[in-house]
Structure 1
Amino acid sequence: MRIDISFLPALAAAFMLVFARIGAMVMLLPGLGESNIPVRVKLAIAVMLTFIILPLHRNAYTIDLQSMAALLVLMLREIVIGIVLGATARVTLSALQVAGSVIAQQMGLGFVTSVDPTQGQQGILIGNFLTMLGVTMLFATDSHHLVIAALNDSYKIFAPGEILASGDVASLATRAFAAAFKIGLQLSAPFLVFGLVFNLGLGVLARLMPQMQVYFVGVPLSIIAGFLILAVVIAAMMGSFLDYFGDVMHDLMPR
């Protein structure tokens, strides 16, 4: 009995190329690529996804095992594609940090910071809360499945071996950053209106009653009123964010 194992080197090379794309993406994904997630957990998730994706797209790779330079260039290209996909998903989450910063400034809590568990650095407290809530909502609503679907469909947009369209990548990055900033401001729109009206009211009050300590009265009122508004609009805010995240992921899927 003779067993042919000549396909193993090509299969191993295809596995490493698929793992390069998936691993780079997983390291940046919201909820999975956080600094407090153990590296072994990230690697386990990346390997599991590689075993799932490999049979679907193994034939898309044309591998020349005689040329190590061509193989390294192909792997570098796969890593860049994974970084682009993961960074796009990561940028969408930054919309909540933008919204949280604006909300904190309008409430008078812009100076209150804490460690952001998703970044491992200091961040605005309200922004950290919204970011953690956003990650929780993504998993609770199974929106992370859209990320896996976008990863699978990325082989149609960024086919292995083809020249990476730098113009399309730059356009995708520009649109992602612009959309994140726009959505962040839209989510915080009620607080922008509140801040404008509240500060105008304080200005009028200060002119009418110069002897009154407006600052010591206004700061507690702005914090209390801000939290009341947050409690009222937070459901609509997170619903809008989930719709925005879904739209971004669908843009990565060819129609």
Structure 2
Amino acid sequence: MISVDIEQLYTWLNAFLWPFFRILSLMITAPLLGESAIPSQVKIGFAAIVTIAIAPALGPMPEVPTGSFAGIWIAVQQVFIGLALGLVMRIVFAAVQTAGEFIGLQMGLSFASFFDPATGANTAVLARLMNVVAMLVFLALNGHLLMLGGFMRTFDLLPIRIGALNPNGWGVLFEWSSQVMVSGMLLALPLIIVLLTINLALGILNRTAQQLSVFAVGFPISLMTGLTLLTIVLPQTTPFLSRLFDSSYSVIARLAQALAAP
């Protein structure tokens, strides 16, 4: 007859719950996996399947009761770790959306916005378009698989253990968050330079030929020039996005190492 004591039950629960919390937290914040269009039941089920698949390879867990203060503290740590690792990838797509905001502002399309369920706020139409393009590039480069592979390696770099995380490790996430503005500006810079030049030329034209209505002429010119440049620039963004994705994978490993350092 098979008998299970309380210690074995705690061991099985800990081997599933603690990795599950880290993986599910990633599902909430990571791009593609954390989209609001995906039902919560699907996210929970996918996280459970991944946990069951990798749990036997994670090694022994801390021998503490699941419902104790130490067990709850470990669970909270796993949630914070998963959220932080997911935010690393989310920052990449935030940079792309920021580039769309910059371009739309220069093209005169800043007023063209609609509600984005992914962010829960009004988003410029160009920002949403560039986010979709980045998502397609992410899928074409198997970024979702590379992201999950890098995330699984964090269990080796930052194993589940008793003890506090290194607070200095959060500085890696704050440093990486600067890419929202830096990479966003670099991605939008070609169009911004051309559109600013056009606006400067229209300003000079307004001073020399004041009978010409710049507001009536400038908007169609800026819009058509911006759309033409988008058809040229967007197909060339794949190498830039690929390097940005590769940098985010390395930041995931660096963040895990920094949080684990004593």
Q: TM-score, normalised by structure 2?
A: 0.90
Q: Which residue of 1 aligns with 2:2?
A: 3
Aligned to 2:102, what secondary structure does the other structure show?
helix
Q: Which residue of 2 aligns with 1:40?
A: 41
- Residues 1:21 and 2:50 are matched in the alignment: no
- Please identify, of 130-139 and 105-114, the stretch whose mean Cα deviation from structure 2 is larger: 130-139
2:97 maps to amino acid:
Q
Q: Which residue of 2 aligns with 1:133?
A: 133
Q: Aligned partners of 1:153 and 1:203: how far apart in 2? A: 55
> Mind listing any 5+ residue stretches in structure 1 that lack a counterpart?
none
Q: Aligned partners of 1:166 and 1:225: how far apart in 2? A: 48
Aligned to 1:119, what secondary structure does the other structure show?
coil
What is the CA deviation profile of residues 32-91 of structure 1, one whole-angstrom value per residue up to 9, with x for unaligned ones? 1122221111112111211222122132x2122287111111111111111111111111
Q: Which residue of 1 aligns with 2:50?
A: 49
Q: TM-score, normalised by structure 1?
A: 0.92
Q: Which residue of 2 aligns with 1:31?
A: 32
1:188 maps to amino acid:
A
Deviation at 1:118, TM superposition (A): 2.4
- Please identify, of 43-52 and 72-81, the stretch whose mean Cα deviation from structure 2 is larger: 43-52
Deviation at 1:167, TM superposition (A): 1.1
- Residues 1:241 and 2:233 are matched in the alignment: no
What is the CA deviation profile of residues 132-162 of structure 1, one whole-angstrom value per residue up to 9, with x for unaligned ones? 2212221222111121112111123322224
Q: CA contact under 8 A between 2:18 and 2:160: conserved in structure 1?
A: no
Structure 1 residues 158 and 66, CA gap change in structure 2 (3 angstroms):
closer
Q: Aligned partners of 2:204 and 2:35: how far apart in 1? A: 46
Q: Which residue of 2 aligns with 1:65?
A: 65
What is the CA deviation profile of residues 193-241 of structure 1, one whole-angstrom value per residue up to 9, with x for unaligned ones? 0122111110111122110001110101100000100110102224312
2:235 maps to amino acid:
A
Q: Which residue of 2 aligns with 1:75?
A: 75
Aligned to 2:122, what secondary structure does the other structure show?
strand
Structure 1 residues 48 and 66, CA gap change in structure 2 (3 angstroms):
closer
Q: CA contact under 8 A between 2:18 and 2:78: conserved in structure 1?
A: yes
Runs of 4+ in 1 over 6 A off after TM superposition: none
Q: CA contact under 8 A between 2:115 and 2:123: conserved in structure 1?
A: yes
Aligned to 2:237, what secondary structure does the other structure show?
helix
**Which residues of 2 match residues 141-160 of structure 1 at below 5 A?**
141-160=141-160
2:32 maps to amino acid:
G
Q: How many residues align?
A: 252
Q: Which residue of 2 aligns with 1:94?
A: 94
Aligned to 2:59, what secondary structure does the other structure show?
helix
Percent sequence identity is: 25
Deviation at 1:244, TM superposition (A): 0.2
Q: Aligned partners of 2:190 and 2:110: how far apart in 1? A: 17
> Mind listing any 5+ residue stretches in structure 2 that lack a counterpart?
258-262
Q: CA contact under 8 A between 1:31 and 1:118: conserved in structure 2?
A: no
Q: Which residue of 2 aligns with 1:212?
A: 212
Q: Aligned partners of 1:184 and 1:15: how far apart in 2? A: 39
CA RMSD of aligned residues (A): 1.8
